[in-house]
């Protein structure tokens, strides 16, 4: 038995509670699960309801097949096409409705109706097929936030090819590694992109990657920089626009796929930081995403949603592309940074596009806080109905700020917990039903069963922090290729399962605690939890405490280890304006001592302009740990801001 005791300080302070605002309830999709047509069935029958949101070519004969558990197969014998579900089936009812509205970095705007999408997706599908892409092949998409990215994803889906989206910001080596992993048969990229005033040469990075691949593969190149920009295309490279013109009007019948056939690959970083290939199956993934789009994000036809996530992150796959389009909604896609040309941009996007659902990360909300409330206050944000956050714990103060200054206390906030592996949201308040507590991720959605367990896998009572596990399978769960079964078993299933009893429990890698109402509070990634003395400290609770200090916007705590001792080190970012750093340090120390305990007094507090972040906005604790323990850092690949590593070393060495 693990002797380590955690500090349930997350629950020591009584949480505020908010009921869904009246304004939201008037039009909410789901205010009563049964009355809204969500059958009140036992697991796994609830999930039939999710499947019923899709258009099937052939119905499934078996809801769930557990023959190879934990590699479950959902909706066996059912066939469908993802592109038909996202586009074709909306054509008869809402052909001219806007499916996608794109805001370019330079003030450009492009609008695609569902019919426009249908036409362009068909043309790209025809082009890919003629370039030799076949059902089951993998196409790598290395594009920034351009309409061509969702379009090529859907074009792949139409012909039964798998897409593999790689962050446009990754370096050539990272791209090659990911392409090799999945034996990519084609690549789609662009000439370049704009970053604020700068021009990024994307094609050069793609070419460098292609040069180190063992074989030549056809490459489509989207022109983003304009005609005046010279891009040389070699033998196997094709101008996207010319291909779309050539194949315009071609009818490409969608390929009917087995529900259990893979829809796409996406890479995630495992505990070691190496990229890991994740796979999602067509039927289960789409069912989970469609159901949560409707229930958690309240999407229906014509709802306008802006999700700030990059499409290369699972959040972009599920809630920029598939969820909204399955629901017939309007997706707002915004290129470039939120501060360019100035800090009014996010609020202008919401105002000008009448955005109703705004989904972002706690890190971005903290940036908005740092800029100040005068920016949102200068705009009419009354179109907003629902706000959401994802990716990391949100501190109660950040939640309150978002609720008050963006939602004007009229919009529920869904703090959604999920993972690349889970495919869709699994824990979240249902916005028309559940009470919200700032900082909590609410309850498991209907059909999702979790347990918080100790190191021996024994279920813990409310109030006791432990490992977050998922007890029953869910449709959009990870469906690894057979060649990945071995490591997937070791990484996610073995820790808390009893294979001999055929009893399987998925380990999320997170620690969490449930309160007496059944609401879940995420403590942090298990690897990032710090043990001091015999106490286990969650990064979330520490950071929530530290960011209550005036002048502090972000904080990350890591352990410095020497001999058997562990010391707590805090990296923090400050709001703009003059700050007496010593006095902020003192207040941080006092706040931690008071809210968490004397034992948790930080031994070092250093200030940095930014924290190291992944492309999806998560703090990379591993980088900070390497800095404080003077270890070289090797995987800056996945950092959004790699230049910060040098800066962190400097501020650390000078403290």
- Nearest residue (CB) to ligand 6R9, 391 versus 432: 391
Binding span for ligand 6R9 by CB under 6 A among 188-196, 345-353, 411-419, 499-507: 411-419
Other Cβ atoms closer than 10 A to 445: 23
In 3D space, the residue among 407, 412, 457, 453 whose CA is nearest the CA of residue 433 turns out to be 412
Binding residue for ligand 6R9 (CB under 6 A) from 9, 113, 415, 608? 415
Q: Which residues contact 180 (CB under 8 A, 6 or more apart)?
A: 213
Cβ 104 to ligand 6R9 shortest distance, Å: 26
Binding residue for ligand 6R9 (CB under 6 A) from 46, 81, 508, 511? 508
Cβ 361 to ligand 6R9 shortest distance, Å: 8
Cβ 526 to ligand 6R9 shortest distance, Å: 9
650, two tokens: 């400097």
Cβ 103 to ligand 6R9 shortest distance, Å: 24
Q: Please state, in angstroms and rounded to a whole number, the distance separating the CA atoms of residues 577 and 570.
A: 21
Q: Which of residues 569-628 bind ligand 6R9 (CB under 6 A)?
A: 616
Q: Which residues contact 300 (CB under 8 A, 6 or more apart)?
A: 29, 294, 327, 328, 329
Binding span for ligand 6R9 by CB under 6 A among 52-60, 229-237, 391-399, 621-629: 391-399
User: Contact between 390 and ligand 6R9 (CB under 6 A)?
Assistant: yes
In 3D space, the residue among 296, 360, 345, 318 whose CA is nearest the CA of residue 616 turns out to be 360
- Nearest residue (CB) to ligand 6R9, 104 versus 312: 312
Q: Please state, in angstroms and rounded to a whole number, the distance separating the CA atoms of residues 138 and 264.
A: 8
User: Contact between 419 and ligand 6R9 (CB under 6 A)?
Assistant: yes
Q: Please state, in angstroms and rounded to a whole number, the distance separating the CA atoms of residues 468 and 427.
A: 11
User: Contact between 544 and ligand 6R9 (CB under 6 A)?
Assistant: no
Q: Please state, in angstroms and rounded to a whole number, the distance separating the CA atoms of residues 79 and 60.
A: 7
Binding residue for ligand 6R9 (CB under 6 A) from 9, 81, 189, 420? 420
User: Contact between 418 and ligand 6R9 (CB under 6 A)?
Assistant: yes
The gap from C-alpha 103 to its chain's centroid, in whole angstroms, comes to: 21
Pairing of strands 604-607, 5-6: unpaired
Cβ 599 to ligand 6R9 shortest distance, Å: 24
What binding mask, one character per residue, do residues 431-460 give for ligand 6R9 by CB under 6 A, x or -? Answer: ----------x-------------------
Q: Are 273 and 638 in contact (CB under 8 A)?
A: yes
Q: Which residues contact 141 (CB under 8 A, 6 or more apart)?
A: 149, 152, 153, 156, 163, 164, 165, 166, 187, 188, 189
- Nearest residue (CB) to ligand 6R9, 522 versus 549: 522
In 3D space, the residue among 367, 305, 312 whose CA is nearest the CA of residue 333 turns out to be 305
User: Contact between 268 and ligand 6R9 (CB under 6 A)?
Assistant: yes
List the Cα angle 181/187/190 in 5-degree steps: 130
Binding span for ligand 6R9 by CB under 6 A among 252-260, 506-514, 567-575, 638-646: 506-514
Q: Are 396 and 362 in contact (CB under 8 A)?
A: no
Binding residue for ligand 6R9 (CB under 6 A) from 70, 283, 388, 391? 391
Q: Are 327 and 303 in contact (CB under 8 A)?
A: yes
User: Contact between 9 and ligand 6R9 (CB under 6 A)?
Assistant: no
User: Contact between 522 and ligand 6R9 (CB under 6 A)?
Assistant: yes
User: Contact between 360 and ligand 6R9 (CB under 6 A)?
Assistant: no
Cα end-to-end span (Å), the chain: 39
- Nearest residue (CB) to ligand 6R9, 240 versus 506: 506
> How many residues of this chain interact with ligand 6R9, rule: CB under 6 A?
20
Cβ 409 to ligand 6R9 shortest distance, Å: 21
Binding residue for ligand 6R9 (CB under 6 A) from 88, 177, 258, 392? 392
Phi and psi, residue 24, nearest 5°? -75, -40
Phi and psi, residue 592, nearest 5°? -65, -45
Binding span for ligand 6R9 by CB under 6 A among 39-47, 143-151, 386-394, 637-645: 386-394
The gap from C-alpha 77 to its chain's centroid, in whole angstroms, comes to: 30
410, two tokens: 């009229």
DSSP string, 478-492: ----GGGHHHHIIII
Cβ 263 to ligand 6R9 shortest distance, Å: 17
Cα dist from 320 to 55, 102, 473, whole Å: 20, 12, 25
User: Contact between 312 and ligand 6R9 (CB under 6 A)?
Assistant: no
Cβ 620 to ligand 6R9 shortest distance, Å: 12
Cβ 470 to ligand 6R9 shortest distance, Å: 11
Cβ 8 to ligand 6R9 shortest distance, Å: 17
Q: Are 122 and 251 in contact (CB under 8 A)?
A: yes
Binding span for ligand 6R9 by CB under 6 A among 112-120, 228-236, 410-418, 551-559: 410-418
Binding residue for ligand 6R9 (CB under 6 A) from 191, 356, 491, 510? 510
Which residues here bind ligand 6R9, judged by CB under 6 A?
268, 314-315, 390-393, 415-420, 441, 508-510, 522, 525, 616
């Amino acid at each position: 038995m693990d002797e380590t005791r955690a500090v349930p300080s997350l629950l020591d302070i009584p949480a505020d509670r908010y009921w869904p605002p009246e304004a939201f309830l008037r039009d909410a999709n789901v205010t009563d699960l049964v009355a809204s047509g969500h059958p009140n069935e036992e697991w796994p029958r609830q999930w039939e309801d999710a499947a019923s949101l899709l258009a099937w070519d052939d119905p499934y004969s078996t809801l769930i097949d557990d023959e190879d558990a934990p590699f479950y197969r959902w909706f066996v014998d059912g066939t469908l096409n993802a592109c038909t579900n996202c586009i074709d089936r909306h054509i008869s009812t809402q052909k001219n409705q806007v499916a996608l509205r794109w805001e370019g970095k330079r003030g450009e705007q492009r609008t695609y109706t569902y019919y426009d999408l249908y036409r362009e997706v068909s043309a790209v599908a025809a082009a890919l097929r003629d370039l030799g892409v076949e059902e089951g092949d993998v196409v790598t998409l290395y594009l920034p936030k351009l309409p061509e990215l969702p379009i090529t994803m859907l074009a792949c889906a139409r012909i039964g090819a798998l897409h593999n989206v790689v962050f446009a910001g990754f370096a050539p080596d990272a791209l090659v590694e990911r392409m090799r992993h999945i034996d990519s048969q084609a690549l789609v990229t662009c000439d370049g992109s704009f970053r604020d005033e700068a021009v990024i040469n994307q094609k050069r990075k793609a070419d460098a990657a292609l040069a180190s691949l063992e074989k030549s593969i056809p490459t489509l190149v989207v022109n983003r920089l304009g005609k005046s920009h010279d891009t040389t295309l070699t033998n196997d490279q094709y101008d996207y626009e010319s291909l779309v013109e050539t194949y315009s009007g071609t009818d490409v019948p969608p390929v009917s796929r087995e529900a259990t056939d893979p829809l796409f690959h996406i890479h995630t970083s495992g505990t070691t930081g190496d990229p890991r290939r994740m796979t999602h199956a067509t039927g289960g993934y789409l069912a989970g995403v469609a159901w949560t789009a409707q229930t958690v994000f309240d999407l229906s036809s014509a709802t306008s949603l802006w999700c700030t996530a990059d499409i290369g992150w699972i959040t972009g796959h599920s809630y920029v592309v598939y969820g909204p389009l399955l629901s017939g909604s309007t997706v707002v896609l915004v290129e470039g940074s939120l501060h360019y040309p100035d800090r009014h941009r996010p609020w202008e996007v919401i105002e000008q596009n009448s955005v109703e659902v705004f989904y972002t990360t706690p890190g971005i909300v903290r940036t908005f806080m740092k800029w100040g409330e005068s920016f949102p206050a200068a705009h009419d944000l009354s179109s907003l109905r629902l706000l959401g956050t994802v990716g990391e714990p949100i501190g109660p103060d950040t939640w309150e700020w978002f609720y008050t200054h963006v939602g004007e206390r009229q919009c529920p906030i869904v703090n959604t917990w999920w993972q690349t592996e889970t495919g869709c949201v699994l824990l979240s308040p249902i916005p028309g039903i559940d009470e919200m507590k700032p900082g909590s991720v609410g309850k498991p959605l209907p059909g999702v069963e979790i347990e918080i367990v100790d190191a021996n896998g024994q279920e813990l009572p409310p109030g006791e922090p432990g490992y977050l596990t998922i007890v029953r399978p869910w449709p959009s769960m990870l469906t690894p290729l057979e060649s990945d079964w071995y490591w997937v078993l070791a990484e996610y299933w073995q820790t808390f399962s009893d294979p001999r009893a055929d009893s399987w429990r998925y380990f999320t890698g997170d620690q969490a605690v449930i309160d007496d109402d059944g609401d879940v509070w995420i403590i942090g990634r298990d690897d990032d939890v710090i043990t001091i003395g015999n106490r286990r400290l969650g990064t979330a609770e520490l950071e929530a405490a530290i960011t209550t200090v005036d002048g502090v916007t972000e904080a990350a705590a890591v352990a410095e280890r020497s001999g058997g001792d562990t010391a707590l080190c805090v990296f923090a970012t400050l709001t703009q304006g003059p700050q007496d750093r010593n006095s902020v340090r003192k207040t941080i120390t006092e706040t931690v001592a008071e809210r968490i305990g004397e034992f948790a007094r930080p031994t070092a507090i250093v200030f940095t302009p930014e924290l190291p972040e992944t492309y999806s906005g998560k703090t990379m604790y591993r980088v900070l740990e390497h800095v404080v323990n003077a270890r070289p850092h090797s995987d800056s690949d996945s950092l959004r801001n790699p230049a910060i590593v040098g800066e962190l070393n400097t501020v650390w060495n000078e403290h």
